[in-house]
Every structure is written in C-alpha cells, then in structure tokens.
A and B are shown apart, each in its own frame.
Chain A
Amino acid sequence: GENVEQHPSTLSVQEGDSAVIKCTYSDSASNYFPWYKQELGKRPQLIIDIRSNVGEKKDQRIAVTLNKTAKHFSLHITETQPEDSAVYFCAASMSGANSKLTFGKGITLSVRP
C-alpha cells in the first residue's frame, strides 16, 4: 500500500519568513495530494491540493509543488503569520470510488512573532 513520509516533525520560523514542508510518497499510482491544516482540538481543514497532471498550484500565500519522478510534494507558505501555527498533514491517494487518503504523520509549524 501507499506510504507517506513527512519530515521533520517540527518546524519553527520567524514571522514573515517562508516555510517549506516536504512529503514523499511510495506508490506511483497516487495522483491526488491534499494538504490539511489542523489547529489544536479542531478539525483538519483542506488548504490546498494538487493532482498529478499539474506541477504547481498557488493560492495566495500558499503553494504546492509536485515532483512525480522523485515522488515528493511540498507545501510552501510565504510571509508566515502567527495564525499559520498549526499541525500540517500531507496525504496521497489514487482515484476511484474505493480510494482512500494515506496521511503523513504531520508537522507542527510554529511561527514566532
């Protein structure tokens, strides 16, 4: 089955700096890669996703890049703000009615004011 690795487990940046979170996946058949943000005690929120027919996608301060050859994808947050502090999960899945997401272990991002 699919295996999604996420490193490191924690990341601390200064407010205003950029943060990059990387994930690798193992199954070349995976073609959908979402990123979720989860604040303490709350639900995971879908913040951006990318499909395998696209190399990069951007939404305001957030972007995701995908390298299918190397089987890794990254979340880029620019101009970080304290409210970006949360746990970020990457995930991967294939298409189809029976598909399911495989999640990474999550990374705790801390933005220092």
Chain B
Amino acid sequence: GAVVSQHPSRVICKSGTSVKIECRSLDFQATTMFWYRQFPKQSLMLMATSNEGSKATYEQGVEKDKFLINHASLTLSTLTVTSAHPEDSSFYICSARSQGASEQYFGPGTRLTVT
C-alpha cells in the first residue's frame, strides 16, 4: 500500500513555456500533499504544502505565481511551473499523507529540463 505516482517522469521544455506535473495517490486518500525540489547531491527542499480543497501554503522564497499548485481531489495534486526558465531545471518530487497520519510517501519524481 501507500503508492504515489508522478507524471511525467521526465520533461524537456523550452524557456517561456509552462509545464504541469501530476501527483497521484493510488491506494489511499491524500488529504495533504507536499511538493519538493531537489538539486543534485542535496537534500529535499519543501516548496509548498497543499491540502485538498484549500489553497497551497508556500515556503518562504517560493513564488506562488510561478509554481501553481492545485489539490482538487483526495488523490490528485498538480504543480504547474509557469514561464519556465533554465534555472527552474531540477528534480521535482511530491509526497502524500493521509488524514491523521504522520507518514509521508513519495512519488518517483519528475526531472524537468528547461532549454
């Protein structure tokens, strides 16, 4: 149990375009989903927390108008990187947690390359 999927696994886009990444909990209801960014050989940097049906809470320094997060259902959250630039190239990982639980389960990540 506790399987989280993420799509796409890899995406290459041109500078100025937008990219949407999906995160799904496959076998449980995720009342809370988290979006992280990870640079090579570094730890996980939390970008935002999203609760189903509510606006996302962004960490300090993360532009909410650039990284749009939608958590429309208990099994799906999306991250849209708008007007992508090469510096947005990174590994984006989501995680999901069910109501009342402490455990977070991670998706497989999305490798974004902006050319």
Could you list which residues of chain A lie within 8 angstroms of chain B, going by C-beta atoms?
32, 34, 36, 41-46, 49, 51, 89, 93, 95, 97-101, 103-106
Contacts and interface: CB of A to CB of B under 8 A. Distances in A.
A29 B43 CA distance: 23
A89 B44 contact: yes
Interface residues of B, number: 21
B42 A42 contact: no
Contacts of B31: 97
B30 to A, nearest CB: 13
Contact of B44 (A42, A95, A98, A103): A103
Contact of A95 (B4, B42, B102): B102
Interface string B39-81: 0001110100101000001000000000000000000000000
A100 B93 CA distance: 15
Nearest to A87: B41
A89 B38 CA distance: 13
Contacts of B42: 105-106
A101 B43 contact: no
A95 B51 CA distance: 16
Identify the 4 closest CB pairs spanning chains A and B, nearest first.
A32-B102, A43-B106, A43-B108, A105-B43
B34 A44 contact: no
Contacts of B44: 44, 89, 103
